[in-house]
Structure 1
Amino acid sequence: MVNKVLAAFLVTDGLFVAMGAIMLGFCVIVRNGAFNDPTEGREAARNLLYQSFPFNAGISNAILTFIAFLLTLPGLATGSRSWLKAAGYLIAVDAVFTMSVGLNLWITTLKMRANFENIWYAQPSGVQDLMQTAFECCGYLNSTSPAFVTNEQCPSPAAAALERGCVAPLVAFGSTFVDNIFTAVFGMVGIQVLLIVAIAALLKDWKERERYRHIDEKRGTRAMF
């Protein structure tokens, strides 16, 4: 009969290391592409958001995840509770680290309007042009603040004055986008907490089995006499 406690731990441990791989892959791939020249307005807005993401912290977090996972292996191989306890403590640290990254992203959504205003002013007219076209807007707050970039969406001051500023669609896009990212990060924290619980359950199961084994050994010794 399969030990359900051990099976649950193995599944959770597998999810944990897969989470670390996803985090590492996302951070490395996205960081490498975040500074590429955009060809479309939503791509430009997304890349500008990515440029403020804590990718180095994410990569460090992923490495910590792999180290914690590796600590679970000798514990499973040898049945040593010490290895699993060490892994559990490291996973707890990892969970706090992951939570910090998630909170950092969440705070970003609270400052989205001000952040995007600074980002907008810093962009060349070509990038502003792409975002005006994609989000069907002219200027940031309005067509004159700052002044719009002349393009097909905003061909003249009169036409631009009839269009909304880019602040509302950009903030809505950015908030939704970052919401999805930090929700995924908080989901990773849930997996880490679940693994800590699984480790605690497995340690308890091993302790109980060891106690019963000692009882059986004593009974066997008495039976010999």
Structure 2
Amino acid sequence: MKKLLIVWSFLDFCLLAAGVLCIVTSIILTQPNQLIIGLMKDHFDFKMIGISLGSTFIAGTVLSIPAIISSYEKMALLKALNWYLVMLASLTLAISEFEQIWHRTPEATQQAIQNKFSCCGYFNGTLSGGLITQAGFCTDSEMAASQPGCQTIITSASSPGSDYTLSNIFTTIFGFEAIIAALFLATVCVINERNIAVRFKRIDEKRGGGGFV
């Protein structure tokens, strides 16, 4: 039982760390220098998602403390904790079409992306190709028309593309899911071990309280 509680405590700490990481990362990702995240933030409120998800993880850790220190005979809180973990594991996110996001993006963000990555427009540097902000690197229309569109950068699977960013976000979320699942299983084991201890205690009391050999 002692080893099981050590494992359980470690997983519970991991859940707390995941909550803190969610909140800190969501704040870092929404800084002005995160251009690709800036492009997506009108559709995804990363700060709200990260803080909300992180807060639910931390709340789970807070709930776990009275649950684990409660008496063996009273395991309602441990069972409530497992239901809470099931709820956490059910949280999901969605992805959207980036061309539509590009057209809704403020011109200052478009210009910053075009300047930093030497690209013009979304598909290409023409009006039909999504060139909305003809400024900075893309001021000259003839030069802009000869440049590649920013779509490749935005949707790239390598840094700092959205596929790369979202892939890392989802991979991290899946990692959190593994922590939640492991803590769920560890809590089930704790409940089972406590049930066994309570059952033997009652048997021992019926036999006079002398204990088992």
TM (normalized to structure 1)? Answer: 0.75
Q: Equivalent pairs: percent with the same residue?
A: 24
Are positions 1:117 and 2:105 aligned together?
no
Residue in 2 aligned with 1:187? 175
1:220 offset after TM fit, Å? 4.8
Distance 2:138 2:56 in 1: 49
- Contact 1:5–1:205 under 8 Å retained in 2: no
Superimposed CA distance per residue, residues 106-158 of structure 1 (whole angstroms, 9 cap, x where no aligned partner): x23xx23x244324xx422x43332123222122221212446254x446444
**Does residue 48 of the first structure (1) align with residue 39 of the second (2)?**
yes
Counterpart pick for 1:149 among 134, 149, 160: 134
> What is the 5 A alignment of 1:23-172?
23-27=22-26, 29-30=27-28, 33-34=30-31, 36=32, 38=33, 43-54=34-45, 55-79=47-71, 80-97=74-91, 100=92, 103-104=93-94, 107-108=95-96, 111-112=97-98, 114-119=99-104, 122-124=105-107, 126-145=108-127, 146-147=130-131, 149-151=134-136, 153-154=137-138, 156-172=140-156
Is the Cα contact below 8 Å between 1:5 and 1:202 reproduced in 2? yes
Q: CA RMSD in A?
A: 2.7
- Between the aligned partners of 1:134 and 1:200, the Cα distance in structure 2 is 52
Q: Alpha-carbon deviations, 1:148-179, whole Å to 9, x = none?
A: 6254x446444333321112222211121111
Contact kept, 8 Å, 1:30 with 1:50, in 2: the verdict is no
TM-score, structure 2 as length reference: 0.79
* CA contact 1:141–1:165 (8 Å) conserved in 2: yes
Q: Where does residue 213 of structure 1 map in the other structure?
A: 201
The answer to whether the Cα contact below 8 Å between 1:140 and 1:166 also exists between their aligned partners in 2 is yes
Amino acid paired to 2:23: L
Unaligned 5+ runs, structure 1: none
Q: Secondary structure at the match of 2:90?
A: helix
* The structure with more helix, counted as a fraction of residues: 1
Higher relative contact order (CA 8 A, sep 6+): 1
Aligned residue pairs total 201
